[in-house]
A = this chain, B = another copy of it.
């Protein structure tokens, strides 16, 4: 399997630019070891021998860790991230490091230093971001599974744009050790896959309490496991009023209508009390402020190796006071309370993942691109994106499922049913 993926990478990565680094020899060696284990009937785990791509802000020992930043070009990680350690323990094969938006702060993957990563569904279009490479590599069959990271939607936005699935887990459930931080509060390592079943397998393998990650802790399981006929499904009310494109609203409502016969208990859930714009600015400030610390030395020594837009965002945080930051964090706490109100009434909430489909490079990134995804980061709740169909142009659209904290597995169990019911597969032709 690894050989076939490496051949496809060799053939297609030039056009798509999903990989920033491929470890051909290492991958082949891991694959041989796995084949041997399998031949002897002692495979470690169902993921033994499965080839992964890893977003290039997650440390893999001996491989680059650029975070898509020019100043970090050539820097090599000396230790595996916790999640990578867990994958290796399962016998997974690490193919290489995947493209991302510069510093993982932005969502079009139009990287001024490492080039554009293209959407496999349409060259010249964004795969979304910041985990653009992690979604593009899956859609183009350049890996079997991948890891991304998600601070305001960076796993789910590219999953939606590329027609694959991605999970932002409950806060504290997957260790962030070895992830280059954007914001300790908002960051989440998240699995990405071509179907929800695979996604759940990766999630289970990388979950766990890590004593060395201050944000990691035991998360009590949400008690929302209910028979299908008792499951209370919430549906985002007034998507158009929240700036969702008409074609996305139409696809979303068609999907809801298609699912309605499966689940008798439905209700609309209003987000009229949420100021998405203010929350977005607050979330960005948390990331920008923390990234000033994370990249302090590089920024001081080589500001010219930061793109003007990244420099501007980081510089903005330097002009905000400690009091502004508390105000931002407190505003995000409102999402915690909103989520509790929502999940007192429903067991799962459906929304479009993004307000629009993938757009052409050179077009302005829609300001509200992450508004529907970032709510889950602010609230700490798990959120899953899976394909719900395509727009008239054939570009994939994502359906987002949110549940209460700790309901990750239930959410994916439901996601499998919805995936089967919608029957939409968005994978472009494998070349």
List of B residues within 8 angstroms of A215 by Cβ:
333
Is A303 part of the contact surface with B, judged by Cβ < 8 Å? no
Q: Is the CB of B211 within 8 A of A289?
A: no
Chain B contacts for A405, CB-based, 8 A: 217
Q: How many residues of chain A get a CB closer than 8 Å to chain B's CBs?
A: 36
Which A residues between 394 and 414 are near B, CB-CB below 8 angstroms? 405
CA distance A317 to B344 in the complex (A): 38
* Per-residue B-contact encoding for A325-355, CB less than 8 Å = 1, 0 else: 1111010011011001100100000000000
Please, which residues of chain B bring their CB within 8 A of the CB of A323?
A: 289, 292-293, 317-318
User: Given that A211-B340, A337-B212 are known contacts, is A324 also in contact with B326, CB under 8 Å in the complex?
Assistant: no
Decide if the interface of chain A is mainly helix, strand, loop or mixed. helix
Q: Is A259 an interface residue (CB 8 A)?
A: no
A274 to chain B, nearest CB (A): 14
Q: Is B212 in contact with A330, judged by CB distance below 8 angstroms? A: no
Q: Determine if B289 and A344 form an interchain contact, defined as CB atoms under 8 angstroms apart.
A: no
Asked whether A322 and B214 contact (CB < 8 A) given A184-B330, A184-B333, A330-B184, the answer is no
- The residue in chain B whose Cβ has the minimal distance to the Cβ of A343 is B211
How far in angstroms is the closest Cβ of chain B from A342? 11
A215 to chain B, nearest CB (A): 8
**Per-position 1/0 for A257-296, Cβ under 8 A of B:** 0000000000000000000000000000110111011000
Nearest CB of B to A83, in Å: 19
- How many copies of the chain does the oligomer comprise? 2
In the bound complex, what is the Cα–Cα distance between A341 and B328 (angstroms)? 32
In the complex, A123 has a CB within 8 A of chain B: no
The answer, among B184, B318, B325, B336, for a CB contact under 8 Å with A325, is: B325
Q: In the complex, how many angstroms separate the beta carbon of A186 from the nearest chain B beta carbon?
A: 12
A320 to B326, CA, bound (A): 12
A184 to B331 CA separation, bound complex (whole angstroms): 12
Write the chain B residue with the least CB distance to A337: B214
A328 and B326 CA atoms in complex are apart in Å by 12
B211 touches A290 (CB 8 A): no
Q: With the chains together, A211 CA to B336 CA distance in Å?
A: 9
CB contact under 8 A between A211 and B322, given known A218-B220, A330-B293: no
Chain B nearest CB, measured from A330 CB (Å): 7
Residues from chain B with a CB closer than 8 A to the CB of A214 are 333-334, 336-337
How many angstroms from the CA of A317 to the CA of B322 in the assembled complex? 6
Residues of B within 8 A of A336 (CB): 214
Closest to A320 in B: B322
Report A184 CB to chain B, min CB distance, Å: 7
The answer, among B212, B220, B318, for a CB contact under 8 Å with A321, is: B318
Quick one: given A220-B220, A333-B184, are A326 and B212 in contact (CB under 8 Å)?
A: no
Shortest A408–chain B CB gap in Å is: 16
List 7 interface pairs A-B (beta carbons < 8 Å), by A numbering.
Answer: A184-B333, A212-B337, A289-B321, A289-B322, A289-B325, A293-B330, A321-B321
Beyond A211-B340, A293-B326, 19 extra complex contacts between A and B, CB < 8 Å: A184-B333, A211-B337, A211-B341, A214-B337, A218-B220, A220-B220, A289-B326, A290-B330, A292-B323, A293-B327, A317-B321, A317-B323, A318-B322, A318-B323, A320-B321, A322-B322, A322-B328, A325-B325, A325-B326
